[in-house]
């Protein structure tokens, strides 16, 4: 509790000193405008426009990028005054952060509420000072809420008598808002949780149907005309913020067109290897590492994984802390060092390397100069000209993700040779 109080004090101090930079909530503005369009623009409005929702352009040329179902949800949220909406998304995100840590510790076998709560609060304090979490709060993003939906589906073990028939619905809802969580459906199938996979698939289809019912033109444009495949429409794929295989390969190739084929090959290989790793870990009795392997795979193979999508470091920190507690001697020190390294790589550091940054909290990826609000492709884009530490820092999330997936793959191969584990009781 003391650790959480300290980081909240630091956060409030950041808000006071960098009020404009940390409270603009640029993405929440887009969500709210999408909701207002869903509420107030008739589907029959202006027949010359293919889609009122997706033709809308905001400041700096931003667009609404999520599925129509997301606009339906934001239509309800847009009823709230702007100040209340900002406060609500912030409080809900912080609560989702703590709840995700709590559920993950439960899946690892922590049963005594006091121990579990203390461990969850400590990880929450550390994760709160990471850039994906800070960026989610600054932008008014929904990443922590979507992660909680998925963790709640996967980390609540045991279902006597089939009472939790809704398990899988959280994954379906999350995928209905952002498509990346769809990767958890084949993961459920491959781990033989067929009913949960069916519930997730059915829920996702229901979100699509609801979008068509409320916003038929926008849904046709998004799904039938395959707008959801056009990641280039909203941003230059090699932009610094895109911490996925598509982003790093584009930056190294120096061309969007030239990176397409290598990316497809790399993404297919990582998808197969990552899902296989996740399935082996789950079948060996390691549900949390299996879940993390699947989440990492989704982040890496997605055409666009913004830095704030990497909130999955929260359950990763939980896992490393648990491994450190269970280990002895040098192994314990190594696991604690790994947890510290993960927190450092994804940490929200003041930009002391930028003279005019006013020490606004940021990540190591900002070591690489970025091209803001750019689309298309051009040799002048700054990401094509990184060198030295800029290459390491600017691609640090992808490199850390690949390293983490490699470690999980080794663990999966070792676990395959060992007998399945029962959940251990951590007190």
Low-confidence ranges of the chain (pLDDT < 50): 161, 422-427
Q: For residues 230 and 183, what is the distance between their CA atoms, to the nearest angstrom?
A: 19
Distance between CA atoms of residues 204 and 173, nearest Å = 6
Reduced to 3 states (helix: H, G, I; strand: E, B; else coil), residue 349 is strand
Measured CA distances, 166 to 92, 173, 195, 197 (Å)? 22, 12, 10, 11
SS3 label, residue 347: strand
Residues 6+ apart with CB under 8 A from 99: 148, 152
- Tokens read off for 117: 């709560």
Q: Which two tokens stand for residue 427?
A: 């007190």
Q: What is the pLDDT of residue 59?
A: 79
Question: If we measure between CA atoms, which residue out of 176, 111, 124, 170 comes closest to residue 8?
Answer: 124
- The residue to which tokens 């530490």 are assigned: 389
Q: What are the structure tokens assigned to 127, written together? A: 């994760």
Residue 247 pLDDT? 96
What does the alpha-carbon distance between residue 392 and residue 102 come to, in Å, rounded to a whole number? 33
Whether 153 contacts 170, CB under 8 Å: yes
Distances from the Cα of 124 to the Cαs of 69, 98, 350, 369, in angstroms?
Answer: 30, 6, 20, 30
Please give the pLDDT value at position 24: 79
Q: Can you list the pairs that 79-83 forms with residues at least 24 positions away whose Cβ atoms lie under 8 Å?
A: 82/32
Predicted confidence (pLDDT) per residue in 317-334, tens digit: 999 999 999 999 999 999
pTM above 0.95, yes or no: no
Phi-psi region of 13 (alpha: psi -120 to 50; beta: other; left: phi over 0): alpha
**Cα gap 369→391, rounded to integer Å:** 10
Distances, alpha carbon 352 to alpha carbons 9, 129, 207, 273, 392, in Å: 21, 16, 44, 38, 17
Paired tokens of 94: 């912080």
What are the tens digits of pLDDT across the range 94-114?
999 999 999 999 999 998 889
8 Å CB contact between 259 and 249: yes
């Amino acid at each position: 509790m003391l650790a959480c109080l300290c980081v909240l004090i630091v956060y409030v101090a950041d808000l006071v000193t960098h009020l404009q930079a940390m409270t603009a909530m640029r993405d929440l503005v887009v969500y709210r405008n999408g909701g207002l369009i869903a509420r107030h623009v008739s589907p029959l409005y202006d027949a010359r426009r293919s889609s009122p929702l997706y033709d809308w352009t905001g400041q700096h040329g931003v667009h609404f990028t999520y599925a129509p179902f997301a606009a339906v949800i934001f239509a309800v949220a847009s009823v709230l005054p702007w100040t209340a909406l900002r406060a609500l998304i912030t409080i809900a995100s912080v609560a989702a952060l703590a709840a995700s840590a709590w559920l993950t510790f439960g899946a690892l076998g922590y049963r005594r509420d006091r121990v579990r709560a203390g461990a969850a609060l400590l990880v929450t304090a550390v994760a709160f000072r990471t850039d994906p979490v800070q960026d989610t709060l600054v932008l008014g993003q929904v990443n922590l809420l979507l992660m909680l939906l998925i963790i709640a589906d996967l980390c609540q073990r045991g279902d006597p008598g089939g009472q939790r028939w809704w398990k899988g619905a959280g994954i379906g809802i999350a995928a209905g808002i952002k498509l990346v969580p769809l990767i958890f459906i084949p993961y459920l199938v491959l781990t033989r949780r067929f009913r949960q996979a069916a519930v997730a698939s059915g829920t996702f289809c229901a979100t699509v149907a609801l979008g068509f019912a409320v916003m038929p033109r926008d849904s046709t444009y998004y799904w039938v005309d395959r707008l959801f495949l056009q990641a280039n429409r909203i941003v230059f794929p090699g932009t610094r913020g895109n911490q996925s295989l598509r982003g790093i390969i584009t930056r190294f190739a120096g061309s969007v067109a030239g990176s397409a084929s290598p990316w497809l090959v790399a993404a297919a290989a990582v998808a197969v290897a990552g899902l296989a790793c996740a399935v082996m870990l789950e079948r060996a009795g390691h549900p949390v590492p299996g879940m993390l392997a699947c989440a990492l795979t989704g982040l890496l193979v997605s055409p666009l994984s913004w830095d704030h999508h990497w909130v999955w470091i929260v359950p990763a920190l939980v896992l490393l802390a648990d491994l450190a507690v269970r280990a002895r001697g040098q192994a314990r020190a190594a696991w604690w060092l790994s947890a510290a390294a993960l927190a450092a790589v994804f940490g929200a550091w003041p930009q002391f390397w930028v003279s005019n940054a006013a020490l606004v909290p940021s990540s190591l990826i900002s070591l690489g100069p970025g091209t803001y609000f750019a689309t298309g492709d051009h040799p002048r884009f700054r990401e094509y000209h990184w060198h030295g530490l800029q290459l390491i820092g600017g691609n640090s999330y992808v490199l850390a993700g690949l390293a983490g997936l490699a470690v999980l793959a080794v663990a999966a191969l070792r676990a395959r040779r060992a007998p399945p584990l029962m959940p251990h009781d951590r007190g």
